[in-house]
Amino acid sequence: MIAAVALTLLSIGCVVAAWRLPSARWTSRAPRTAILLWQSIGLTWGLATTGALLAYALQPYGQGVIYGLHSHLSSVLTLGLDPESTFTYDLSRTIALVAGLALLAVLIGVLLAALWQTLRARHRHRRLLALVAREDPHVPGVRILDHPGATAYCVPGLRSEVVVSAGALRLLSRDELAAVLAHEDAHVRERHDLVLLPFAALRRAIPWSRIVRDAQSSVALLVEMAADDRARRHCSPRRLATALLRFGAAGSMPAPQGALGAVGHVMARVNRLIAPAAELPRPFRYGVVALSALLTASAPLLWAMPH
Amino acid sequence: MDILWGQGRPLTAREVGKLIADRDLAPTTVMTVLDRLTRKGFLTRTRDGRAWRYQPVRSRDAYVAELMLEALDLTGDRTAALTRFAQAVSDDEAAVLRRALMELEEE
């Protein structure tokens, strides 16, 4: 019973943390550390919630979740004819077993579906780029899209491509363009698309959950801040800030649904580029990293714990 | 594709080959490329005697517009397939940002 209770508490703890973390102020001072914490919260929540249900369901085996599942499977396969089988069918435990396995399957399924859709969308995007984008000797390595709207983005992948629209080229000065490209390069190098994928997948799966929505939007902002931090090593942070504002100010496009508050994100990024806050004290940062490691390890350990 | 978009009428593989005058391409290469573009859904073809006439399914601008919609995250699809430099904002929000930009440039 200890494992089931501990996993339940862990699951609740993760939900509370995901609810409180978006309003924490230290995260913008150490975006990478905060992203690490978010990832461990997400992973631990999934494992703890399914683990709690399974640990309760398989408790009669007294072997923990992993070995319990194995024993249950073999007893089901022998149709309960095994005389050593101690498992008695009990309604609440059966429900917990079905719910736990279903949740696990749904979470994995949602992730795989999101991965597949993302890869498909990127594949089509790349193909169209190959047809209509052009290259410009003034900005080597960048694909240019002949459109008056202002946009700059990258198509991540093994061979990632950075794309800038003609409108953006007109809008930005030389230094600002360099800053934008440095920012996109940071996304590419740190594979931020992979960081965002599970959070975006969860948000698509449960769009009505405020906690999930806030979590996804926080991680999206932190990823941008991490890219800004890397870009500022190679370019003037001030130019990056003016480029950001110019993009926003030029936007005559209708805002997409659910993108409200984008201006808050832009201003938060601009402010920390112009007037960076002091870095987080080292002990605090290490503490968060240690907490993330502990969280990530806790759920698998409890899955294996025999009681 | 550029040649087919530029001509604005269905062309045969031979005509396309002639228009790529500066490159020494074998006619079969042109046919293979056109055939592949057709299978990927970018061209349609109609029989004309013994040859096929190829025509773009959509205009170049339509594809550019499709890419821009995705780039600006206006498709309503939230797969995070792309990483964007800045999100699209509403008009009111753009005004806020314009003010901030002016303040920053005055400093």
* Residue-level length of chain A: 307
CA dist B2 and B43 (Å) reads: 12
Check residue A281 and report its DSSP letter: P
B79/A241 CB distance under 8 A: no
B residues 14-33 closer than 8 Å to A (CB): none
What is the distance in angstroms between the Cα of A277 and the nearest Cα belonging to chain B? 18
Residues of B in contact with A192 (CB under 8 A): 83
Query: With an 8 Å Cβ cutoff, is B62 touching chain A?
Result: no
Query: With an 8 Å Cβ cutoff, is B89 touching chain A?
Result: yes
Pairs of CB atoms within 8 A across A/B? 162
Same domain, A64 and A42: yes
Whether the predicted pLDDT of A254 surpasses 70:
no
**Average pLDDT for residues A93-104, to the nearest whole number?**
91
Q: What is the pLDDT of residue B74?
A: 56
CA dist B56 and A93 (Å) reads: 60
Q: What is the pLDDT of residue A40?
A: 96
One-letter identity of residue A252: S
Q: What is the pLDDT of residue A88?
A: 59
Q: Does any domain span residue A99?
A: no
Query: With an 8 Å Cβ cutoff, is B107 touching chain A?
Result: no
Whether the predicted pLDDT of B87 surpasses 80:
no
Q: Does any domain span residue A95?
A: no
A168 is in which domain, residue-wise?
109-276
Query: With an 8 Å Cβ cutoff, is B58 touching chain A?
Result: no
At A293, the pLDDT band (50, 70, 90 cuts) reads: very high
Same domain, A171 and A298: no
Say what percent of chain A tops pLDDT 70: 92
Same domain, A270 and A121: yes
At A256, the pLDDT band (50, 70, 90 cuts) reads: very low
What is the distance in angstroms between the Cα of A219 and the nearest Cα belonging to chain B? 12
Q: What is the pLDDT of residue A105?
A: 95
Q: Helices A282-304 and A64-77: crossing angle, nearest 10°?
A: 20
Q: What is the pLDDT of residue A50?
A: 94
The candidate with the shortest Cα–Cα distance to A169, out of A108, A247, A112, A79, is A247
- The predicted model scores a pTM of 0.82
All structural domains of chain B, each given as residue ranges with its CATH number in brackets, are 2-56 (1.10.10.10), 60-106 (no CATH)
At B54, the pLDDT band (50, 70, 90 cuts) reads: confident
B91/A200 CB distance under 8 A: no
Within chain A, residue ranges assigned H as helices are 2-20, 31-57, 64-77, 91-132, 166-171, 174-189, 192-205, 210-231, 237-250, 262-274, 282-304
Same domain, A192 and A246: yes
Quote the mean pLDDT of chain A.
85
**Average pLDDT for residues A129-145, to the nearest whole number?**
84
Q: Which residue has the higher pLDDT, A63 or B18?
A: A63
Domain count, chain A: 2
Q: What is the per-residue pLDDT across A140-154, written as a single tens digit (0 to 9) for each?
A: 888 898 888 888 888
CA dist A194 and B71 (Å) reads: 18
Same domain, A29 and A53: yes
Q: What is the pLDDT of residue B8?
A: 65
Q: Among partner residues B65, B68, B97, which is closest to A245 by beta-carbon distance?
A: B97
Q: Does any domain span residue A65?
A: yes
Same domain, A282 and A272: no
Residues of B in contact with A110 (CB under 8 A): none
Query: With an 8 Å Cβ cutoff, is B77 touching chain A?
Result: yes
CA dist A272 and A229 (Å) reads: 10
Residues 6+ apart with CB under 8 A from A169: A136, A139, A144, A177
Q: What is the pLDDT of residue A205?
A: 86
Q: Does any domain span residue A261?
A: yes
Same domain, A116 and A262: yes
A147/B85 CB distance under 8 A: no
Whether the predicted pLDDT of A75 surpasses 50:
yes
Q: Does any domain span residue A102?
A: no
Query: With an 8 Å Cβ cutoff, is B68 touching chain A?
Result: yes
Q: What is the pLDDT of residue A261?
A: 47
Q: Does any domain span residue A176?
A: yes
Whether the predicted pLDDT of A107 surpasses 90:
yes
CA dist A245 and A240 (Å) reads: 9
Q: Does any domain span residue A124?
A: yes
At B37, the pLDDT band (50, 70, 90 cuts) reads: confident
Q: Mutate one of B33, B37, B42, B87 to test the A interface: name it (highest A CB count within 10 A).
A: B87
Same domain, A303 and A223: no
Phi, then psi, of B12 in degrees rounded to 5: -90, 165
Q: What is the pLDDT of residue A16?
A: 95
Q: What is the per-residue pLDDT across A3-42, written as a single tens digit (0 to 9) for each?
A: 889 999 999 999 999 999 999 889 989 999 999 999 999 9
CA dist B61 and B53 (Å) reads: 22
Q: What is the pLDDT of residue A258?
A: 39
Strand ranges across the sheet with B43-48? B11-12, B51-56, B43-48
Instruction: Classify residue A64 as left (phi > 0), alpha (psi -120 to 50) or beta.
Output: left
B86 Cα distance to chain centroid:
22
Using DSSP's 3-state secondary structure scheme, residue A148 falls into coil
Residues 6+ apart with CB under 8 A from A76: none
Same domain, A26 and A1: yes
Same domain, A134 and A224: yes
Q: Structure tokens of A60?
A: 């009669």
Q: Among partner residues A128, A183, A246, which is closest to B101 by beta-carbon distance?
A: A246
Same domain, A216 and A122: yes
Q: What is the per-residue pLDDT across A114-125, written as a single tens digit (0 to 9) for each?
A: 899 888 888 888
**Average pLDDT for residues A185-201, to the nearest whole number?**
89
**Average pLDDT for residues A157-168, to the nearest whole number?**
85
Q: What is the pLDDT of residue A252?
A: 45
Please give the ipTM for the structure prediction.
0.71
Q: Does any domain span residue A43?
A: yes
User: In this structure, are residues A150 and A221 in contact, taking their beta carbons and an 8 Å threshold?
Assistant: no
B90/A260 CB distance under 8 A: yes
Q: Structure tokens of B20?
A: 């790529």
Residues paired with B55 in a beta bridge: B44
**Average pLDDT for residues B39-62, to the nearest whole number?**
78
Using DSSP's 3-state secondary structure scheme, residue A63 falls into coil
Whether the predicted pLDDT of A43 surpasses 80:
yes
CA dist B83 and A22 (Å) reads: 21
Same domain, A143 and A169: yes
